[in-house]
């Protein structure tokens, strides 16, 4: 799949130097609150990744939480697959990081996902997730990024509702059921959509182009539906430019000010950090 021999060799060498967990899963914890990926990323391409959010309200409030991309010209959206690097030990184990050197297999961009769990009070907490995209190609990169969430409040998918909340810096949904509430925030997002499972997931995993259409909220309680929601951003990055995509969700608490988040971390993108800028221009494959 990888058409860059030099990059592949370097990735292999770095992987040997920093062996990955056998199942490529892990979690971050702060106080009594834990966020983690529970499914081998290798099985996620074309779908999404199971996740847990525990210690904030009763049970596990989260079924899936994952990211998708579509580069201009692609004929469908793609899930981010197995990362090249993983780290769940940053900031005392409350911050983790996944890196992809070339998630599209075309050399167009690299990606770094930072995620942070924060206990805000006993049995309350939030999770920040920041996806950082760097244009590693030779031309402008126009890319759509999607963040998909399947939250199940009170540990069950039944009777969850959602309404839009005014937020000048974000698209914000307030989820609730009889036992819990949860904010879901996409900062600077262009569009959102909410549907019952698995209409939205089908759109993000089928073989055609879909854009979110700003529908689905209010999501009615009592419908028996299983709430799922997503945010979409469309951005154009110049050569070498980096763009951040930030989301936050929480449980039984208001969202924190995003400036309090430890992600994104300051500093250069993953390829720049590795001194690989320009290497990705070799062996470009035609677009899918
Ligand atoms: Ca779960
Ligand atoms: Ca529920
Ligand atoms: Ca699609
Ligand atoms: Ca749900």
Domain holding 207: CATH number?
Answer: 2.70.98.40
**164 pLDDT tier (thresholds 50, 70, 90):** very high
Q: Is the pLDDT of residue 221 over 80?
A: no
Look at residue 283 in the predicted model and tell me its pLDDT: 42
Indicate whether 138 belongs to any domain. yes
Indicate whether 288 belongs to any domain. no
Rounded to whole angstroms, the Cα distance separating 70 from 90 reads 29
pLDDT mean over 190-218: 96
Rounded to whole angstroms, the Cα distance separating 95 from 87 reads 8
Indicate whether 46 belongs to any domain. yes
Neighbours of ion ligand 4 (CB under 5 A): 150, 152, 157, 226-227
Token output for 204:
């993000």
Look at residue 75 in the predicted model and tell me its pLDDT: 98
Looking at the structure of the chain, the number of domains it has is 1
pLDDT mean over 34-45: 78
Range of the domain at 116: 5-281
Rounded to whole angstroms, the Cα distance separating 116 from 3 reads 33
Rounded to whole angstroms, the Cα distance separating 252 from 150 reads 17
Q: Is the pLDDT of residue 11 over 70?
A: no
Diameter of the chain measured on Cα atoms: 56
Neighbours of ion ligand 2 (CB under 5 A): 153-154, 156, 160, 177
Q: How far is the CA of 226 from the centre of ligand 4 (A)?
A: 4
Look at residue 43 in the predicted model and tell me its pLDDT: 64
Q: How far is the CA of 204 from the centre of ligand 4 (A)?
A: 16
pLDDT mean over 265-270: 54
Look at residue 202 in the predicted model and tell me its pLDDT: 94
Indicate whether 287 belongs to any domain. no
**155 pLDDT tier (thresholds 50, 70, 90):** confident
Single pTM value for the model:
0.86
Indicate whether 161 belongs to any domain. yes
Cβ atoms 63, 47 nearer than 8 A: no
Where is average pLDDT lowest: 6-10, 41-45, 104-108, 117-121? 6-10
By residue count, the chain amounts to 288
Q: Is the pLDDT of residue 15 over 80?
A: no
Indicate whether 286 belongs to any domain. no
pLDDT mean over 224-246: 96
């Amino acid at each position: 799949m990888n058409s860059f021999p030099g990059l592949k060799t370097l990735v292999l060498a770095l992987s040997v130097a920093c062996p990955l967990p056998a199942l490529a899963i892990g979690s971050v914890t702060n106080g009594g609150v834990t966020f983690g990926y529970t499914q081998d990323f290798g099985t996620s391409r074309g779908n999404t990744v199971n996740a847990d959010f525990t210690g904030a309200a009763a049970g596990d409030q989260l079924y899936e939480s994952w990211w998708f991309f579509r580069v201009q010209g692609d004929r469908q959206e793609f899930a981010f697959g197995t990362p090249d690097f993983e780290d769940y030990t940053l900031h005392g184990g409350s911050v983790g990081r996944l890196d992809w050197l070339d998630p599209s297999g075309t050399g167009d961009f690299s990606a770094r996902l930072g995620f942070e769990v924060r206990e805000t009070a006993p049995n309350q907490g939030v999770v920040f997730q920041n996806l950082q995209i760097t244009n590693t190609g030779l031309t402008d990169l126009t890319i759509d990024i999607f963040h998909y969430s399947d939250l199940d409040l009170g540990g069950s998918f039944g009777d969850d509702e959602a309404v839009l909340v005014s937020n000048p810096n974000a698209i914000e949904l307030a989820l609730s059921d009889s036992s819990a509430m949860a904010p879901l925030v996409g900062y600077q997002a262009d569009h959102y959509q909410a549907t019952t499972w698995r209409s939205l997931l089908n759109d993000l995993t089928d073989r055609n182009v879909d854009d979110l259409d700003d529908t689905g909220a209010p999501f009615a309680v009592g419908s028996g539906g299983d709430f799922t929601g997503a945010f979409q951003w469309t951005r154009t990055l110049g050569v070498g430019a980096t763009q951040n995509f930030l989301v936050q969700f929480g449980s039984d608490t208001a969202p924190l000010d995003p400036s309090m988040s430890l992600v994104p971390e300051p500093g250069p993108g993953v390829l720049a950090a590795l001194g690989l800028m320009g290497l990705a221009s070799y062996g470009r494959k035609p677009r899918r």
